[in-house]
A and B are shown apart, each in its own frame.
Chain A
């Protein structure tokens, strides 16, 4: 994938650069930046990039959409682009057309469960649903007597308890109290909550990897500007080695996330190999968010701890994104259980198959 040939990615990057500059957003206490940004993204067809034209979207490839999400991470984008893309993708699995406007998905964690009653009504509770407060609609994966269904729900029908994640973005509890969906259809065979969590986890992995790329970038720049003890701090070996480690964490996150995205984009089913790729990305990117973010802060010293500096926009979001669609601890247990179930001599063949 040559980046210069990716028109969808170029379009997104231009919009982000023009309307989602971290410095300007950080200074804007009113939130006035969100409306023009969302409008531009909508005009470019990006929120429904993964929805076919027949279902109301732009019909971009999975790979192009993943590339856009990596870029969104590099800008620590704080509008529900990833969530709307994911919701559109989920609805499309059941051939449900996407409405316009912001969307999100529920559940957003592997342990929450929404039930579809025999009369079609939805009940249950989904915690940590990103941007639920901003969403006009919620794409829902529900468990019914007949199996898994996918539903579109008007957000006005839902009780939403407001919450914020570490990065200050909405992460809300959504309560389905016998809610009638606008439309509901059975999920395709083999599609279940794990599938949604894996897709969501890869989306978050790409965003974390993108945020780490930017953390590396601004940390290197800062170390080449800041003078202490009469020289640039980039000339101190201790600082150089810390930044080299940050580069390693950033590289590991990028490699894991892009590999998982590539695996999903070219897979015909969410099999064991895709499972390995997707959960490894979430686990490794979450670890990198912790280790890499800590180094970025260390390099910046006190200025990076201030609300005026942009570093927190990346570092705190990367930490927050760890929790969505299953934490690294959750997935590590799941992966570990699968590995031992396959047996010791099947571990290497699985790793080598990727």
Chain B
């Protein structure tokens, strides 16, 4: 086989089921206590620092990290269970999720020891929010066109330029960003970018909200003007950020959050059609559930490979490609299937409100965190086409 894609039928081990029960009980308690409303469509606006600290207290942030940094040394499969249960319940995880998924692992790998000791335990306690500084006004999918400069100065670097589409920058305590430390070379246009840890809410950083078509103000423009970053906040190799970027993609791209973002409309559709669906609704629901089950099995399989120490970058890209296209189409399929549902179905209003939000959310799903086009390029490379 030229392709040799592997998706072995990994099963979540028994200890995950006890954990799942604990997470469900915790979330039920939070919902009952009014922390968040799982049926409220505009949920991403909800930012609940106290909730994040309670999740941290349970030991569900930084689950796989070493204990010396506040982590819990549990498996990727256990983390998987927590992530999917939170996502399906529409819990307000945004404040800690980026740090848990990717910023923490980057720090673990590349930050100096004293920085790790300072920051990682606070992430695990649910106290810190991270954002990711990748895109710029003229550099989106083409990451290596980034121009924001990091100029060497006494004891550190001065940053000048603009990052954009930066989710959560307005609430973030830190950002992990790439800045240009050298010009690209003729041989390697990816050369010259360096990864930095940026402390937000400091002089020289201006965060300007950008409105989204959903009505939210969740992403931002972040302008740096002679912002100082100390030397010990350089992450990894100077000029070599491109080497560090790719291996983390498998973590970022294969999780349950890559196909569950609009899942709530499927639940509400099942509720709306009641127990006597017509053939059309039944077939539609059956197909959607079969597709969902298949993606989840693929995603769990990738989590199993990560746990086994592999780097399934192509498999992870496939999960994100198929998963995001699916979650993008889901609200439209649900809308079609709901077209003949009784006008007085009990949850009609809930379904319509959720559909409206999901349909407006849908376009971003195949853009954020690596566009469909970028993913297919990675898959094509894995197939030996480029």
Contacts and interface: CB of A to CB of B under 8 A. Distances in A.
B118 interface: no
Given A276-B293, A331-B286, A351-B289, A341 B275 contact: yes
Given A250-B3, A252-B295, A328-B287, A224 B277 contact: no
A335 interface: yes
A339 B20 CA distance: 21
Contacts of A229: none
Given A220-B2, A255-B301, A354-B297, A340 B282 contact: yes
Contacts of B112: none
B9 A332 contact: no
Given A1-B8, A240-B377, A255-B7, A283 B287 contact: yes
Contacts of A348: 88, 263, 267
Nearest to B269: A344
A339 B286 contact: yes
A244 B322 contact: no
A259 interface: yes
Contacts of B384: 220, 224
Contacts of B308: none
B376 A333 contact: no
A248 B318 contact: yes
A51 B279 CA distance: 39
A334 B263 CA distance: 21
A276 B288 CA distance: 12
A223 B380 CA distance: 12
Contacts of B382: 247
Given A221-B2, A241-B380, A336 B294 contact: no
Contact of B380 (A243, A287, A347): A243
A277 interface: yes
Interface in B338-378: 373, 375-377
B20 to A, nearest CB: 7
A224 B380 CA distance: 12
Contact of B293 (A239, A244, A277, A333): A277
A1 B9 CA distance: 9
Given A213-B1, A333-B279, A337-B282, A254 B7 contact: yes
Nearest to B295: A252
B238 interface: no
B291 A284 contact: yes
Interface in A101-153: none
Interface string B248-278: 0000000000000001001110110111110
Interface in B79-124: 84-85, 88
Contacts of A239: 385
Contact of B3 (A217, A240, A284, A339): A217
Contacts of A165: none
A251 interface: yes
Nearest to A216: B3
B270 A262 contact: no
A280 interface: yes
Interface string B5-29: 1011101000000001000000000
B5 A254 contact: yes
B78 interface: no
A235 interface: yes
B279 to A, nearest CB: 6
Contacts of A345: 267
A331 B255 CA distance: 28
Interface in A196-241: 213, 216-217, 220-221, 223-224, 234-235, 237, 239-241
A337 B382 CA distance: 40
Nearest to B382: A247
A1 B7 CA distance: 11
B293 A280 contact: yes
Contact of A333 (B282, B294, B298): B282
B294 A329 contact: no
A328 B322 CA distance: 19
Contacts of A258: 7-9
B289 A335 contact: yes
A344 B354 CA distance: 15
A255 B319 CA distance: 11
Contact of B289 (A224, A237, A336, A341): A336
Contacts of B270: 339-340, 343-344, 347
Which of A217, A235, A328, A348 has most chain B Cβ within 10 Å?
A348
A245 interface: yes
B9 A243 contact: no
Interface of B: 1-3, 5, 7-9, 11, 20, 84-85, 88, 263, 266-268, 270-271, 273-277, 279, 281-287, 289-298, 301, 314-315, 318, 321-322, 373, 375-377, 379-380, 382-386
Given A245-B321, A250-B5, A347-B266, 16 more contacts: A217-B1, A240-B377, A247-B382, A251-B5, A251-B315, A251-B322, A254-B5, A256-B293, A279-B290, A280-B291, A283-B290, A287-B291, A333-B279, A340-B274, A343-B270, A348-B88
- Closest A-B pairs by Cβ, 3 of them: A332-B286, A336-B282, A336-B286
